[in-house]
Structure formats: structure tokens, C-alpha cells
Amino acid sequence: MENDGAQSLETIGIGVIGCGGMGRSLANGANAVEGIDVVCVSDLQEELAKALAENLGTEYTTDYHQLLANDNIRAVLIASPPFLHAQMAVDAANAGKHVFSEKPMAPTLEDCDAMLSAASENNVSLTIGLVCRYHATHSKVREIVHSGELGAPVNMMVHRIGGPWRGGNRTPWRLERAKSGGSLMEINAHEIDFMRWTCGEVISVFGAGGKYVQKDTDYPDVVLASLKFENGSVGLLHSSHAAAVGGYGGRVDCEKGTIYFPQIWGGDASIQIKPFEEEERRIRIGDIIVPPPVQQEIRVFVDAVRNGTTPPITGVDGRAAVEIALAAYQSVETGQPVSLPL
């Protein structure tokens, strides 16, 4: 395929491991990006793999090792349940394939480190699907903070709250922290990464929470995690499965003013920027033009593969989100602040 009618892009063959909702999203996203050929998809459930393969006009297998043996595949997109990410990523790296793994990277630091080591030893790229970096609100808020127009960040608060797991989302692996990473990893990897991407490295975490409504899980359904950043700023993440009225938004208070985003997306949601001494301005989120985020995260990964460069989101970023979540769980259990690194 040609890029903007100019020079021809080298086509990169991709394999997709895991054909559930996330795998379908990644496969369709990859299929829409110029210079990508989805060569094969894989899932233990043959009906899922077959349906996606037919939809894309490609091959399928129920054994991902067969996919990894295909010389036409240079990179894989892994969208299996989180507890399977590490083994699949290590196998892929050992087969010489570049690796895109969905978030959370893995439920344990040992598994994250195994993924990092395998990628390094085999000289392959490793990126994690922290797709919110490519969404309009997240990227614009971070851009404003890093522009310095409001001075250094002082406080960042993000809430992402909803009700208990229901319907098709209530799969057995989601109810076990060892398999899913619990809400702080499986959902809030995005918010943790957003806060770290905006405010910098986290040096300590204090968490309060418990199990109140979703009682069939083995992890808290409400966590208020207070983060202390290396630069002295503080943050608060509100994670919940106990909210009948959900919501997703936040704010960043800086030395010279505030960025307020009560809704991340939807309707006429906007970002309010208010310096202390000047008039406020608002940016309507619907007016911020960004490429489709799933396509973009795959595009930049494949560009890194094609060019032999480091992807913008690294395995180190994925591991950091896992470590902060683990520290929050530990703090909830002990009632004490937890210093990083663990």
C-alpha cells in the first residue's frame, strides 16, 4: 500500500493472539492501518478464531505456537487474559517476534520482568496497550501540563467509577486478582499511566478501600489511591465497582491555574483551563482531532518495528503501572503507605 500516494511502505505481517473483544478490536484496528497485513489470528476457542479470521479474510489457528512459527509474521498483538500475557510474550520474543501486549502488562512484577528480559535478550520491541495516551482528553491535558503555561503540577485527581461486573464482562478470570490483576490493573492501568505520564514517577502510594458491593471477587471493589510523585506533586485515583452512577473525569491543579475535565468523552464534554489571574478558556473534546486511538497505538508500534526504533510506550511503562497498582493493594491490606520501588 502507498502512504499518502508517496513512497511505498514496507508491509509488516502481524499475528493476533486472543480473539475476544479486545483481540477483535486490535485485529480490526491493525487491518485498517496502511502497511500492515494480519497474517493469522489465534484463540483456544476455535469459533472465536474462525469468526475473526473470516471477517478479516485471513488464517486462524487454535495453537499460538503455530502462529509464532510463521515466517511471514514479524510482530504479534497479544490480547489474552492478563495472566497469560507473560508466557505468550516470552514465547513470541524467543521466536524473534516483536510484541504488543494489551494492558495490564501482567499481574505480577516477576512476569513483567520476564517479558522485559525476553524482549531484551532477543532484541525485539515490546510495547503495552496503554491506549489512553492516544485519546483526545488524556493527550491534551498532558500537553497543557507539559507546556508549562500553568506552572508545575501540584495535584492530579482522576476518577473512573462504575458498577459491578455484569453480563459478558463477568468472566471467571476477571474475578481473580491473580488472573486479571484486579480493577487497579485491568481497568485502571490506563488512569495510573495517565497520571504517571502527566506528573512523573511515583515514589509512594497510600491506598484505602475494601470489598463492599462486588463480593465475589478476591480484590477490593473500591480503592482511593493517593500517589506521591518524585517532583513533590500529589495525586488521587478513585477506582470503584460500587457506583450506580458512573463517571470518568478529573483535574490537574498547577501553580498558576487549573485544568478541569469532568468528563473524558461524550456529549459536549470539554476541558476547562483557568489561570488564577486570567480568563478561562474551554476546549470542546469533540473538537480535538486525533487519529482513531486503537489504530494509532498499533501504527506507532509497527512504525517502531519497521524503523528499528523504540516504541513510545515501553515495557518499563507497563511495568510501572503494575507496580503502582500492587503498591496500592498492599497499602489497602496493611493500612500503611508503601514506598516505591517495591
CA-based nearest residue to 186, from 126, 129, 242: 129
Query: Do residues 321 and 105 lie in contact, with contact meaning Cβ atoms separated by under 8 Å?
Result: yes
- Mean pLDDT (the chain) is 96
Predicted local confidence at residue 7, as pLDDT: 62
| pLDDT confidence of residue 168 | 77
**Range(s) for CATH 3.40.50.720 in the chain?**
12-131+293-312
Look up the CATH number of domain 12-131+293-312. 3.40.50.720
133-290+322-339 domain in CATH 3.30.470.10?
no
> What's the CA gap between 282 and 271, in Å, rounded?
6
Residues of the chain with CATH 3.30.360.10: 133-290+322-339
For range 114-120, the mean pLDDT: 98
Of 61, 103, 88, nearest in space to 317 by CA: 103
Position 2 confidence tier, pLDDT thresholds 50, 70, 90: very low
Q: What's the whole-number mean pLDDT along residues 234-244?
A: 98
Could you tell me the pTM of the whole model?
A: 0.96
244 in Cβ contact with 272 (< 8 Å): no
In contact, 82 and 106? CB cutoff 8 Å: yes
Rounded mean pLDDT, 249-272 = 97
